[in-house]
Structure 1
């Protein structure tokens, strides 16, 4: 298996180098590029996934459909397509940015830090889902209003990046979502 690398960035989002993905997430994770994608089906439901219990960071946490890291030289849209297929066995379409400047830093219960410049995207499912069990333990389609209520009333039940994304883009989980152009 070929080693994956993440793109390290400065506070302004400028690329300053790369690092092996397997080594970058630690108690002192450097700021790096990532993306987060929320997937909706034809009925308007949003996909939520529970991260596999074997994941190094945030195991077993419920979150949005999927996240990932663009490889060096790879654009976000190509990375989204790649990770949707790898993680969920899913094809997506109508991918559009919702929050291009989202950034967060959070520490899980084991002390692993996420420190990411993480544009947020919204997409539509174009196929059935067949998750890789090494990535996703459980999944379900939810009414966006129900997920928004969970995020607002019980934020401890979901990932901190989902909480932050919902706060930064209040229309992310609504039919009236707004996109940045």
Structure 2
């Protein structure tokens, strides 16, 4: 009988250097160690951004609306490859490239039940002209396309229902310009050491 290897996340120090791994199933609790992750924003040909509602079965932030896709790279996996892998798995999106736009984003957020997210979490832009989405129900409960202006205005007004990390990202991303498709791509050298291409 074949057994599946446990999914591992990369633990990092304050400088973003890899210091080990831990099983994803055990890493999130009230004292979650700092680890490597990513967030992505999928943008269609009209400049609309895909936002998703996390499946209700998720351990962290179930049923919460957030950016297009979040996840963790496997040990040694380049972050842009991890972004594309998770987009295909969660949303059926076959994209060509994922470009870093906030390479040093980092956050800590606490759920109502005390479970903590604690991540160095570079943010990636994915241009996707097909706009065809086929979400897995165990990953994504709902999805919608929104204009960037709507997202920014909701966050600025305090009425946004997006996740805490997504709202922090939106505040930083709006500094990159009003058109997501034109956001400048960051130098990969600015990614944390554990996430830089080899």
Which residue of the partner structure matches residue 160 of structure 1? 164
Structure 2 residue 134 is matched with structure 1 residue 130: yes
Report deviation, 1:155.
5.5
Offset at 1:120?
0.5
Q: What secondary structure does 2:98 align onto?
A: strand
Name the structure where strand makes up a greater proportion of residues. Answer: 1
Deviation above 4 Å: which 4+ runs of structure 1? none
Q: 2:150 aligns with which of 140, 146, 149?
A: 146
Deviations, residues 131-156 of structure 1 (Å, cap 9, x unaligned) = 01111100001111001111221355
Compared CA separation, residues 49 and 172, structure 1 to 2 (3 A): farther
Q: CA deviation at 1:173?
A: 7.3
Q: Unaligned 5+ residue runs, structure 2?
A: 188-198
Query: Structure 1: which 5+ residue stretches go unaligned?
Result: none
Residue 172 of structure 1 and its aligned partner are, at CA, apart by 5.4
In 1, the alpha carbon distance for the partners of 2:136 and 2:157 equals: 30
Of residues 71, 75, 81 in structure 1, which corresponds to 2:74?
71
TM-score computed with the length of structure 1 as normaliser: 0.94
Query: Residue 93 of structure 1: SS of its match in structure 2?
Result: coil
Superposed counterparts of 1:27-176, under 5 Å: 27-125=30-128, 127=130, 128-154=132-158, 157-171=161-175, 174-175=178-179
* 1:91 CA displacement: 1.3
**Residues 91, 126 of structure 1: 8 Å contact kept:** no
Deviation (angstroms), 1:177: 2.6
Q: Partner of 1:85: helix, strand, or coil?
A: helix
Instruction: Tell me which of 16, 19, 24 is aligned to 1:16.
Output: 19
Residue 180 of structure 1: aligned partner:
186
**Distance in 2, Cα, partners of 1:160 & 1:144:** 17
Kept after mapping to 1: 8 A contact 2:56/2:63: yes
Separation in 2 of the partners of 1:165 and 1:112? 21
